[in-house]
Structure 1
C-alpha cells in the first residue's frame, strides 16, 4: 500500500507537471492573449450566464480589488458588458458581448482538443478514473480554501449576532485602547457606547450584522456591518477592535473576512469606513480587502482634532 507521504509527493509532482503542460507557467494561456485569471473569468461567466462581480470573487477565490480591475479592463476592450440586474436596478451584472462569446468559443475549442488528445492516450477505465479523481480532488481543495477563509485561529471562536455584555465590552476595548494610544477621552467612549446601543436595536434587520471573537467565553474582538445608516445600498463597517493580547494573531483578518463575505452576498454597492491616519496596521488590513482611501480632512468627530479618513470598497 502506498504511504501517505509518497501519495502526497506523487500528487504534488503530478500537479506541477499539469500546470506546465497546460501552459499556466506562461503569461497567456489557451491560445489567447489573456492571463489564466482572465480566461477563467470569461469561462465562468459563460457557464453561469449573467453574474455580479461579487459572485465572481467568490468563485475565483481572488481579492475583490484584483477582480474589479480585471473586469473593468474586459468591459473597456469589449469582451464583457454591464447591465442593471432585473431583480435590483442598483446592482450591475456582467455578461459576454458578441466578442466575448467568440473568445470563449476559441478557448473551449482549444481546451477540448487538448483534453481529448490526452484522453486518447488512456484506456477507458483510466479515462473514467481521471475524470472522477480530478473532480473529487478539485472539490476537496475548494473545501479546504473555504474552511481556511472562515475559521478563527486556534483558541478563538467567531460568532454572529448579539451576546449579553456586547455593548459594554466593545466599548471597554475601544475606550482602553484609544485612551492609551491616542489620548481619546470620555467623549469618544460615550459615542461608541451610544452608537452600539442604537445599532443593537436594529440587529434583527437582514442588512445588519455583528461578529464577535470569543476566547474562553470572553469577547476579545468585534466588527459590524450597518446596512441601513448610509442609505444608497451602501454598507458601513463599524466597531472593528481587538483586545490587546489578540493583535497579530490573524483574528482581525478573519473578522473582516466575515464582514466582507456578508457584504458581497447581500450585494451592497459599496462599503464605507471612517478612521484616522495614525492606524497604520488597520489601514494595511483594510487595503488588503480592496478598500481605497477616498478622502481625508482635519476633523474632531472623535473628540480630538486629527486627520480623519474615509475608505471605500466598491462592488
Structure 2
C-alpha cells in the first residue's frame, strides 16, 4: 500500500479508531476516511453498501463496535449481540462486494472459551463454552472472525482479524456504568482522592488475572497489518504479561495518589478467572508492544485530568 491509499476507519472517533488514525497519520498516510455515527449508521445495510460503493476505499479497518464492561453486557444482551452483528456484517459484505483490497477486523480476547488453556492461542477458538457475562458480544465477534476467514478461504482476499487483549488509552470510556475495569478504577480512585481519600469499592475478589495493552500499541499492530500481507486469518495482540485485578487496583491507586481504603464486594462477579493471550504469531512476524503498564496508566491518567471527564 502507498501513502495515498484510501483507508476507511470505521469507528474513527472511538478509543481504538482514533488511535489507529493517529498512527497512520504519523506514518504519512494522507487519504484517511471517517464518518461519525450521525453521518453514517453502520447498522443500516443499504447506507453502508452505498457508502462503500461510492467511496471505493482500498482498505477498511473495522474499529466500530458496541462495547462495555460486565455490567453493560449483562444488562443489554440483545443490542450487544445484534448491533455488533449488524455493524460488522454490513462492513464485511460491502467490502467483499466492492472489491476492497484489504479488510482488518478488530475483535476481543473474550471470543475465547472461559476455561481455555492459558495462554490463549488462536486455535482455541470454539473449543468450549464462553464466559456468560459477555457471551453476546463474543458471539458477534466470533461471527465476524469466521466471516473474514470464509471470504479469505473462498475468494483468496486479504481479510484478517486481530484480537487484542484488554485495551486502555487516550479517549477511553470512563462512564462507571459502561466502562471497562481499568478506566473505571482510574475514575473511582480519582474521585475518592478529591473526596478526602474516601474508601473505594470494587467488584469481585480482585483475584482474576488480566493482561492490558495500551491502545497505541494495538494501533501499531494495525499499521503492521496494513503494510504486510499476513499469512493467516487470525492473530492475537497482547503484551504477554498479566497481573491480578487487586494488583492493578494497587498500581492505579498509587499513580492517582489515593490514600484511602479499598473495599472488595465479593457478591459481585469476577468474570473469567484468567485471560492471558499468546501473541507469539504476530510477534514472530515483526510486531511488538512498546508501552509498559505503569507508563501507560500514567499517560491515561494525565489525559483524563486534562480532558475534564
TM class, shorter-length:
under 0.3
Q: Compute the TM-score of the two structures, normalised by the length of structure 2.
A: 0.23
- Greater percentage in helix: 1
**Larger C-alpha radius of gyration, 1 or 2?**
1
Higher relative contact order (Cα pairs below 8 Å, separated by 6+ residues): 2
